[in-house]
Amino acid sequence: MGENAFNYSAEYSKSSRSSCRFCKSNIEKGSLRLAVLFQSPTFDGKIPHWFHFACFFLKQKPKSIKDIANFDSLRWDDQKIIKEKLDALGNGGKSRTNMAQKYCGSEKIYHFFIEYAKSARTVCKGCGEKILKGEIRISALDFESEKAKKTFPIPYLRHADCFIGLRRELQYYGDGADLPGFNKLSAKDKIIIKEKIKPIKSEGETDSSSSSKKSRKEELIIKQNNQIFSYRDNLEENLKKSELALLLKYNDYDPISGNSEMLDTLADLMTFGNIGRCNACKTGNLIYRSGVGYFCNGNISEWAKCTNIVEKPVRIEFKI
């Protein structure tokens, strides 16, 4: 997946200069921050709008961690809290997640809501037909459109059957009885909705047979993540920028701009081993980029950059 394919990004703030788009206060250096990425009107790339972690989820709802650039470059504990937040927001069932609703100031905002149509003016977002007055309609907040990302989530209304057909896409996995507004339905309609909307497994849920394999893999990932950040923290605490550059040079790496980028690269090389020069152009270095792999920063010729990307590069001994 290329960098421009992501709609969101996460990282640790490199300074205290950026301000949160929601609360307008500064984001402290070193703290976890998340961004919504918008296509730039002037260049081929995306512009980040940064938020504090807590503020981000008051307005945004990524569908999964795969939508977030740099996610796997975060500390494991921070990856975990983001996953938990997405799991909670992604499941509308109150009994399963207690996150069918959220609050913004004193105004209550529901991710999903079921009710009777108050008029015949509403058009169903699913089929495009009008929802007649008195018909059951279900609203789901849209977090994905450009307008929603820049302002607030937008509620879109659908016929009950249209909503049911789009449950996985809309990420509602709970029971019909857990929908806010359910208690105001008639006794007859409650029975119908409970029969039609039953709990289903979310995409991330696994059965017990595969959970043990996932657990072993997760243990290895946690161990590697802790090792990477142990090296990174020690390097940041004990070495100057010039010394980091010398350590890279000693391992045949060309200068890398940015202190954070040097720390990331060195921590990776110290954990998994040195990589050496690109096997395609023979001149550039392979640098890890989350969601992309190890990309070459060199040139294939005098006029063109090297486009080599390696998922699992050959490792050699890292020298100190």
Residue pair 93/101 in contact by the 8 Å Cβ criterion = no
pLDDT given at position 252: 93
Contacts of 144 (CB under 8 A, 6+ apart): 7, 63
Task: Name which of 7, 10, 3, 8 is nearest 74 in CA terms.
Answer: 10
Domain boundary among 145, 180, 196: 196
Domain boundary among 36, 61, 90: 90
The domain tally of the chain equals 3
Q: Per-residue pLDDT tens for 35-74?
A: 999 888 888 889 999 999 989 988 888 888 989 999 999 9
At residue 98, does pLDDT exceed 50? Answer: no
- Residues 299-304 have a mean pLDDT of 90
At residue 4, does pLDDT exceed 50? Answer: yes
In a domain, 258, yes or no: yes
Distance, CA of 71 to CA of 67 (rounded, Å): 9
Q: Which domain holds residue 75?
A: 3-90
Is 100 in the same domain as 86? no
Tell me, what CATH number does 137's domain have? 3.30.1740.10
pLDDT given at position 146: 73
Lowest mean pLDDT among 10-24, 123-137, 145-159: 145-159
pTM above the 0.85 mark? no
Tell me, what CATH number does 284's domain have? 1.10.20.130
Helix axes 208-238, 259-272, angle to 10 degrees: 120
Q: Give residue 251's Cα distance to chain centre.
A: 33
- Mean pLDDT over all residues of the chain? 86
Query: Which of the four pLDDT bands, split at 50, 70 and 90, describes residue 268?
Result: very high
Q: Per-residue pLDDT tens for 121-143?
A: 999 999 999 999 999 999 988 87
Query: Which of the four pLDDT bands, split at 50, 70 and 90, describes residue 155?
Result: confident
Is 74 in the same domain as 153? no
In a domain, 318, yes or no: no
Higher pLDDT, 191 or 88: 191
pLDDT given at position 93: 36
In a domain, 132, yes or no: yes
Task: Name which of 63, 52, 88 is nearest 6 in CA terms.
Answer: 63
Is 70 in the same domain as 147? no
